[in-house]
Amino acid sequence: MTTQATSTAGLPLRRKAARVPVLIATLILSILSYQLNASLFSAALPAMAAHFQESTENVAKVQSLFFLTGAVLGMAFSRWSDFLGRRRTLLIVLSMMLCGTVLCLWAPNLTVLLVGRVLQSATSATFTISFLLLSERFSKRLFGISVGVISAVNGGIGGLDGFLGGFITDTIGWQFLFVLVLGVGVLAIVLVAVVVPKRAARTREGRMDWWGAGTLGTFLVLLSNLIGQASTSGWGDIWTLGYLAGAVIAGLAFVAVEKRVARPLIAIEQLRSRQVWPVLASTVLTLAGIFSALNFTVILLSQDAHAGYGLSASMSALLYLTPTAFVGVLTAVFSGWFAQRIGWFKALRISSGLIVVAAVAVAIFAADRWMVFALLIIMGVLYLGQFQSTVSGIAVLNSPKSAPGSVPGLNGACFGIGASVGIAVVAPAVAAGTIAGYQTALWISAGFALAAFAASLILRPVAASAAAAPAAVAAHA
């Protein structure tokens, strides 16, 4: 295998090939620094609520705010890497994560903890930057395979991180989870500094569209808050109306900015095309439905001693997080190969359609712990294994050549926005603490999944010539 000549200029051919698996391992570890922050703390939410004497709904912000700000920061840093360089951007986001982790470790109250989570969320850009690096260095075939391998990290450390989070919470305390994250982050930033080539750098001349990133980020935050406020207080609430007005203003400002800058975050005509917006909609809606169901509703249901299954944090994670993530890891490794063989868009539609069926079944059988256990394993194959890697690959393939980081960056933001919106929408139903409330939340999740399937049917590929390879200069096997 040979790699892109410009990325490791001056190295002998054999050394360039030898660096490829080391590079992939480094990217996996960088992504893991984000993924552990996303998955370790789900089972620890009840313990955090008790420690800070906060309600379940307030402590849910530990996750929802993490994904919301991660969406905004990930989008901005991903596009900035087109100008700043992939390596330098990775070093910046990992440094922010380390600072945030230290802050969380010593947080005296929930507010300080949430500030630390905001800083940690910058590592959401590691996914997109890794996909861009792979697309720039590998052939079409190897790109498909590597997308599956990288996407397998969505399952964390083989699915054990969910159980590990619960076990550490029950035995040592949830604060030690941040010690684990800190260790992984230090190792990741060292390897990125050493392994990622310095010339894996800027791919476009010009300046980052910070006005576009700022207005779009403001729109996404206000939109998320709008949905959350409307779900709890209704559309006639004064705060809901305020968020609505702010979101409209921010959205119009974004459109105005993008029409006037030389190098926009993404051109408006591209954003509204059937090659782009259905990708983003599919990601937002799927994450809103399935992440909130798997990582929030079912976990709290399983630990509810009155209306739920009455499990400990560690047992809850062992049954409802670990197996799901484990099968997701196993199938994700082959998902890129599978999508390459049958077609990326067909693979997306198949996985989205089957996810709807599984989500409906979870809502129907919510009171049956073992039926939910089995259905979540199936969901791991479909959602973690196939959907996430396929939609990430399509985001790279459908991104305009003039702005390669635009659609992957926005799609990465959609992962966080979807997770944040989903939790915000279902949290009031879950907070009722009844089996009817939990089932209502799961039916809402199934509705999101159905809308995502509809978006996948609207999606269209770019022109055949543009979709032929994921990068302008691809490596060959």
Sequence ranges of the domains in the chain: 11-209+261-467, 210-260
For the cut 50, the answer to whether the pLDDT of residue 470 exceeds it is no
- Indicate the pLDDT class of residue 139, thresholds 50, 70 and 90: low
Q: Which two tokens stand for residue 311?
A: 């499990």
Question: So what's the pLDDT on residue 454?
Answer: 95
Question: So what's the pLDDT on residue 344?
Answer: 85
Separation between Cα atoms, residue 122 and residue 212, nearest integer Å: 18
Q: Which of 15-24, 25-34, 37-46, 62-71 has the highest mean pLDDT?
A: 25-34
Query: pLDDT of 298-345, one tens digit each?
Result: 988 998 888 889 888 778 878 887 788 778 877 877 777 788 788 889
Q: Between residues 1 and 115, which one has the greater pLDDT?
A: 115
Beta strands in 96-178 (DSSP E): none
| Averaged pLDDT for residues 373-380 | 92
Question: So what's the pLDDT on residue 444?
Answer: 94
Q: Which two tokens stand for residue 438?
A: 């939990």
| Averaged pLDDT for residues 370-392 | 89
Question: So what's the pLDDT on residue 408?
Answer: 83
Q: What is the DSSP string of 227-246?
A: HHHHHHH-TTSHHHHHHHHH
Question: So what's the pLDDT on residue 377?
Answer: 92
Q: Which two tokens stand for residue 132?
A: 């861009």
- DSSP alpha helix (H) spans, 259-276: 268-271
Question: So what's the pLDDT on residue 90?
Answer: 93
Question: So what's the pLDDT on residue 98?
Answer: 95
Is the distance from CB of 437 to CB of 431 less than 8 angstroms?
yes
- For 11-209+261-467, CATH number out of 3.40.50.300, 1.20.1250.20, 1.10.150.240, 3.40.50.880 equals 1.20.1250.20
Lowest mean pLDDT among 2-16, 67-81, 165-179: 2-16
Question: So what's the pLDDT on residue 199?
Answer: 65
